[in-house]
Structure 1
Amino acid sequence: MNTSSAPGRLPPPGPAAAGSPPPSNDPLPPPRFAYDPVTWREVGYLLLNLPMAIVGFVYVVTMLAVGLSLSVTVIGLPLLAFGLAGSRGLGRLERNRARQLLGVHVDEPRPLRPSTLGFLPWLWAALKDPVGWRHALYFAARFPWGILTFVVTLNALIVAWPVLPFLARGMTTVDRVMVRGLLQPSDELEQRIAELESDRGVVVDTAAADLRRIERDLHDGAQARLVALAMDLGLAREKLLEDPAAAARMVGEAHGEVKIALQELRDLARGIHPAILTDRGLDAAMSSLASRCTVPVAVTVDLRARPAEAIEGIAYFTVSELLQNVSKHSRARGASVDVWRAADRLMIQVRDDGRGGADASSGSGMAGLAERLDSVDGLFVVSSPVGGPTVVTAELPWRDRDFRRPAAARG
């Protein structure tokens, strides 16, 4: 194993790294005496505050009064649970209004999901739903604020219109704080669940695409070749007695087809999970990838242990894709691959001295790599100015390999 230090390693990327989501709320232009579209949208939002506040306040007060007063009966708690679920729907309307008129983009809370099926588990989950209670608090607190903002805005349009842009910006700033504070999934666990649900979709889509690719390669490659091979051997068997020389020639051709078919199957198996990675780890696997690159590649792997199989596989295929890009697009004279562990992260850095200009946001293979790493809490950073060099840094969470399972169970 190579253990020399990797020169020029980048520090772990921060929150603004490529592959991480962009900020959800763009900065607003400063208010001006002249009315602009932003000001008019803010004024429209403030004028709608009163009807929305009345609807929300009446709904919440009615829901709480009826539900709590009848809680000693069999219908009180279900009414309260349905009322809290309904407050989620009103909250969705408010988030849409804030997004359209104020440019406030907040994540949707995760759906209400009881631990087991049935009405009683749903009832209990709805009654202790923090999202429903936060939404109810939002509409209760909004009622006096909605009256105030409506009255101030309406009067300013008549008697204080020169300063209305500044009044509107100040009041809608309070609205933005309330929306972000009470209508978004502020609970860290809740946000984490939503992220994992999104990442699970990416993993499922990636696995389905890989399965379709394997099926296509088997059908169009090795399977078609083996079918032709069976037909050739059948013809050779028929000619074995009447024309042994022709039969021997056909068998020789079939032997060549068998070698090609075996090579295709080996290439396909390497694309699923290479044997060298399973048997010898990332050091040997990275060296094997480097040997197939069209430019010289220096490999440095500084790992005292092997990570979990899934993390090791993602690391391998990330480097494989990046070295293919180096071969096809970089026009580089040399490249390097560095792999090391930093605390609880597996770090990968691939650099080349080519022409640069690589972009992970253009829908290319790098975008797919960024999505795959993001699905396991990884990061993907590309630095590739025009003229080069290109430096790609990938981070993966470190998970120790489970050596307790037998090899057959590990597959």
Structure 2
Amino acid sequence: MATEYGQGHGQDYGQEYGRMDRSEFRGSEFRGSEFPESEFRGPEYRGSGLDKRRPRLPAGLRAPIEARAWKEFGHVLLSLPISLVTFTFAVTMLSLGVGLLITFIGIPVLAAGLAACRGFGTLERVRARALLGVEVANPEPLRPKNGGGPMGWMGAVLKSGVSWRHVLYAVLHMPWAIFSFTVSVAFWTYGWAMLTYPLWQWLFPVYGGQDGIQLYGDDGHRILIDNPFEIGVTALTGLLITLATPWIIRALTTVDRVMVVGLLGPSSLATRVVELESDRGVVVDTAAADLRRIERDLHDGAQARLVALAMDLGLAKEKLAEDPEAAARMVDEAHGEVKVALQELRDLARGIHPAVLTDRGLDAALSALAARCTVPVQVEVDLPARPAAAIEGIAYFTVSELLQNISKHARASRGSVDVWKVENRLMLQVTDDGAGGADVTGGSGLAGLAERLDAVDGILVVDSPVGGPTAVTAELPWRA
């Protein structure tokens, strides 16, 4: 249902100012951590900066000479000796430790082997970061018990899933390193050798006693690459292999990336715990800030008026006998103060949780917000049902703060609010045709709003090029 509120009427703002199509948002795809921010930027953003320095050669032709290809090839070359050492060490220490478990010696041997594998994992993360461009966070550190003595340290190493995942990486990576090394070296060597064959073909008649490289030969027959046509075909084949080799190596190193991230990084459970701890801190800080705001509003507003009202009524009581007319005027003034205090209390209660939101849902509540905005705002809410009460409240206050920004800072003439559901996510978008330039960095109100949404697994995306228009899109879990 679409309704327009505010000053004036006109055409559909969403069509006029390019509101994002709802089909662009599809749950987890929108929430993906690798979703590029540039997708939400206007042409002013995408057409500036690095885009002006586009390479002259297409990606397929420049791949063999790019630094990325040589870094990945270097990673493959180093993987073979490193994986052989780590595999041998891991299997030896694991076998020795397990074999000696019948004695006490097996426990420290096994713990030392696991700790060394964690050290090898650190080396692999550094190597992946430098050569593959993979940023892998360090896993959770050991937390020894019993005061952190030798026994506590050994117990922490043996109980740590991270330690055993490092051993698994050492065991699994060795056969893959051998395979990727063989394939990469073969393609890289043969490709460049065939491509440059016209440059070194002269070596065969001068030093080899034959006119070219031999493809086949027996006692009575030989096939040589010695005429210009065959040499050209060889160079062309080498060119094709050389162009394809970087992509083959990239595919091989993709498996290395997956193994490093999956086995040498923090576990998903540990990452989730860290996120929840951070979100809990944001929620606690937000609740404390809200309590301070409520206390300040009560102290500076309704409480101050009630104190003054009590004093005025006391003076009116004293004058009631000697000057009834003055007392009546004072009571009349006090009656006006009571009305003002009641209105302030109503506004405060609405700021805590509006009754219209509880009784009638987001559609009516957002319509009431839009009616109080200083510019005309069109509201469209398309929800099959009501989300969870907590999510509904967060959506309401998110729109409230964004509309306040439009009223105070945007210098806009029109705005719009859209709310809809995609899978199990609640989507909302607030747009305006103002001056733009809004940014979530730098400690702005949008930054605090983004932190509040992140505390409930939500996302805030701001598209606000200088000159406008501005589109702020928020995604929240449905949880109904």
Q: TM-score range by the shorter chain?
A: 0.5 to 0.7
1:340–1:177 Cα change, 3 Å: closer
TM-score of the superposition, structure 2-length normalised? 0.58
1:113–1:268 Cα change, 3 Å: farther
Query: Cα distance, 1:336 vs. partner?
Result: 1.4
Assess if the C-alpha contact under 8 Å between 2:2 and 2:378 holds in 1. Answer: no
Gaps of 5+ in 2: 5-11, 37-62, 145-152, 178-248
Structure 2 equivalent of residue 394 of structure 1 = 474
Does structure 1 residue 358 correspond to structure 2 residue 438?
Answer: yes
Q: Distance in 1 between matches of 2:96 and 2:3?
A: 70
Which entry has the higher C-alpha Rg, 1 or 2?
2
Paired residue total: 367
Q: Distance in 1 between matches of 2:290 and 2:120?
A: 41
Assess if the C-alpha contact under 8 Å between 1:12 and 1:395 holds in 2. Answer: no
Aligned-pair Cα RMSD in Å? 5.2
Structure 2 equivalent of residue 244 of structure 1 = 324
Structure 2 equivalent of residue 107 of structure 1 = 137
Query: Cα distance, 1:295 vs. partner?
Result: 0.6
1:362–1:301 Cα change, 3 Å: same
Query: Cα distance, 1:85 vs. partner?
Result: 7.6
Assess if the C-alpha contact under 8 Å between 2:283 and 2:452 holds in 1. Answer: yes
Q: 2:337 aligns with which of 236, 251, 257?
A: 257
Mapping for residues 195-344 of structure 1, pairs under 5 Å: 195-344=275-424
- 3-state SS of 1:202 partner: helix
Q: Identity of paired residues, percent?
A: 68
Give the aligned residue type for 1:289.
Answer: L
Assess if the C-alpha contact under 8 Å between 2:433 and 2:469 holds in 1. Answer: yes
Give the aligned residue type for 1:386.
Answer: V
Residues 350-381 of structure 1: CA deviation (Å, up to 9, x unaligned): 22222222223343222222222222222222
Assess if the C-alpha contact under 8 Å between 1:110 and 1:194 holds in 2. Answer: no
- 3-state SS of 1:299 partner: strand
Q: 1:68 aligns with which of 76, 90, 98?
A: 98
Structure 2 equivalent of residue 134 of structure 1 = 165
Mapping for residues 106-185 of structure 1, pairs under 5 Å: 106-110=136-140, 127=158, 129-137=160-168, 179-185=260-266
Assess if the C-alpha contact under 8 Å between 1:295 and 1:333 holds in 2. Answer: yes
Bigger mean CA deviation after superposition, 81-90 or 189-198: 81-90
Bigger mean CA deviation after superposition, 221-230 or 304-313: 221-230
Assess if the C-alpha contact under 8 Å between 1:19 and 1:380 holds in 2. Answer: no
Assess if the C-alpha contact under 8 Å between 1:199 and 1:374 holds in 2. Answer: yes
Q: Distance in 2 between matches of 1:373 and 1:385?
A: 22
Q: Distance in 2 between matches of 1:228 and 1:82?
A: 74
Residues 63-82 of structure 1: CA deviation (Å, up to 9, x unaligned): 75786356457897699679
Q: Distance in 2 between matches of 1:84 and 1:221?
A: 63
Gaps of 5+ in 1: 24-29, 115-121, 146-169, 401-411
Structure 2 equivalent of residue 159 of structure 1 = none
Does structure 1 residue 11 correspond to structure 2 residue 42?
Answer: no
Give the aligned residue type for 1:260.
Answer: V
Assess if the C-alpha contact under 8 Å between 1:346 and 1:398 holds in 2. Answer: yes
Give the aligned residue type for 2:163.
Answer: G
Assess if the C-alpha contact under 8 Å between 2:433 and 2:468 holds in 1. Answer: yes
TM-score of the superposition, structure 1-length normalised? 0.67
Assess if the C-alpha contact under 8 Å between 1:17 and 1:379 holds in 2. Answer: no
Assess if the C-alpha contact under 8 Å between 1:356 and 1:390 holds in 2. Answer: yes
Bigger mean CA deviation after superposition, 214-223 or 289-298: 214-223
Q: Distance in 2 between matches of 1:221 and 1:88?
A: 60
Higher helix residue share: 2
